[in-house]
């Protein structure tokens, strides 16, 4: 598993494009018949991708977490960004369609990912997992796509009309740390999370999906008065440290999985920044 140590905002002004991408952009999570993994030491979050194509993919453990099995000391939220598939957790099988979410609680031993129709229109299942250390075991729980707590945000006139779906959160599926959901831009709207914000109590990870292969999202990061950008493709992720804004504009419509971990789970504990105050 790739290890990425935490960074400070003081490091950002000295980084060129290649270093920004090496530290904050997450590519290649979805490898045929395999599991891709990145361990960010920002709140010790692990981002995983599982892409079963010709057969099931078993989630193993990694030497970096010194655990007998992946969820021994951890929990995780999963969203399927590909075609329909199943996730088997200790003998219970969940049918997970595009955009649906499964929370896996601490202690789950055997986790297997399978595609239901790898040759279908949406291709093989692509299971995106965000995991954080967990102090107790909450029940493994499934949420159908769109069945979380829905918030309608933004306006078509400012190109930021979007539907936010909270899956794992304080008033929904319970967890120790992980807060997770999916935001979908409405047709013609391109801006996510505008106005932008930070939440110094939590890191956040993004995974853009349903973006056409030749389109890109210009993702803003960094302190609000010292921003940089990353040009991000479909099914690529971004690590957003607690001090960093995370907002982006697409060259086409898209969705993204957002997930957070850290000090609290209060979704609305965030500090917003009017664009006129940003640099």
Ligand X SMILES: O=C[C@H](O)[C@@H](O)CC(=O)C(=O)O
Structure tokens at 165: 């779906």
Looking at the Cβ atoms of 145 and 270, the one nearer to ligand X is: 270
- In sequence order, the 6+-apart residues with CB closer than 8 A to the CB of 191 are 154, 158, 159, 160, 185, 247, 248, 249
Contact track, ligand X, 192-211, x by CB under 6 A = xx-----x----x-------
Residue 199, annotated as binding a ligand: yes
Q: Residues in contact with ligand X, total (CB under 6 A)?
A: 11
How far, in Å, CA of 38 to CA of 46, rounded?
Answer: 6
Selected binder of ligand X within 6, 15, 176, 270 (CB under 6 A): 270
Q: Which range binds ligand X by CB under 6 A, 47-55, 112-120, 191-199, 209-217?
A: 191-199
Burial class (CB in 10 A: 0-12, 13-18, 19+), 277: exposed
Residue 259 Cβ, how far from ligand X at the closest point, in Å?
9
Residue 199 Cβ, how far from ligand X at the closest point, in Å?
6
Q: Residues in contact with Zn ion, total (CB under 5 A)?
A: 1
Looking at the Cβ atoms of 35 and 194, the one nearer to ligand X is: 194
Selected binder of ligand X within 74, 98, 162, 169 (CB under 6 A): 162
The DSSP 8-state label assigned to residue 116 in this structure reads S
How far, in Å, CA of 179 to CA of 140, rounded?
Answer: 14
Looking at the Cβ atoms of 52 and 236, the one nearer to Zn ion is: 236
Structure tokens at 36: 């891709």
- Is residue 161 near ligand X by the rule CB under 6 A? no
Give the residue carrying structure tokens 């697409």: 250
The full 3-state SS of 222-267, as one line of letters, equals EECCEEEEEEECCCCEEEECCCCCCEEEECCCCEEEEEEEECCCCC
How far, in Å, CA of 157 to CA of 27, rounded?
Answer: 32
Among residue numbers 204 through 223, which ones bind Zn ion (CB under 5 A)? Answer: 204
Among residue numbers 238 through 257, which ones bind ligand X (CB under 6 A)? Answer: 246
Binding site for Zn ion (CB under 5 A): 204
Binding site for ligand X (CB under 6 A): 153, 162, 164, 183, 192-193, 199, 204, 246, 258, 270
Q: Which residues are annotated as a binding site for Zn(2+)?
A: 197, 199, 204, 246
């Amino acid at each position: 598993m790739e290890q990425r140590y935490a960074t400070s905002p003081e490091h950002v002004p000295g980084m060129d494009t290649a270093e920004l991408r090496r530290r904050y952009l997450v590519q290649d999570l979805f490898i045929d018949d395999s599991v891709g993994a990145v361990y960010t030491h920002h709140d010790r979050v692990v981002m995983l991708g599982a892409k079963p194509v010709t057969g099931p993919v078993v989630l193993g453990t990694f030497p970096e977490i010194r655990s007998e099995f992946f969820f021994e000391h951890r929990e995780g939220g999963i969203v399927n960004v590909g075609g329909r598939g199943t996730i088997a957790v200790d003998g219970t099988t969940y049918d997970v369609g595009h955009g649906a979410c499964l929370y896996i609680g601490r202690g789950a031993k055997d986790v297997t990912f399978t595609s239901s129709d790898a040759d279908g229109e949406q291709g093989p299942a692509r299971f995106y997992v965000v995991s954080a250390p967990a102090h107790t075991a909450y029940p493994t729980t499934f949420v159908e796509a769109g069945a979380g707590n829905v918030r309608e945000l933004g306006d078509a006139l400012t190109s930021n009309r979007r539907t936010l779906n909270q899956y794992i959160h304080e008033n929904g599926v319970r967890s120790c740390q992980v807060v997770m959901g999916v935001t979908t831009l409405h047709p013609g709207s391109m801006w996510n999370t505008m106005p932008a914000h930070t939440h110094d109590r939590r890191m956040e990870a993004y995974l853009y999906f349903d973006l056409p292969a030749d389109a890109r999202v210009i993702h803003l990061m960094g302190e609000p008065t010292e921003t940089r950008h990353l040009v991000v493709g479909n099914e690529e992720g971004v690590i957003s440290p607690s001090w960093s804004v995370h907002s982006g504009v697409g060259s086409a419509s898209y969705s993204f999985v957002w997930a957070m971990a850290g000090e609290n789970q209060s979704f609305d504990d965030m500090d917003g920044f009017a664009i006129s105050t940003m640099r």
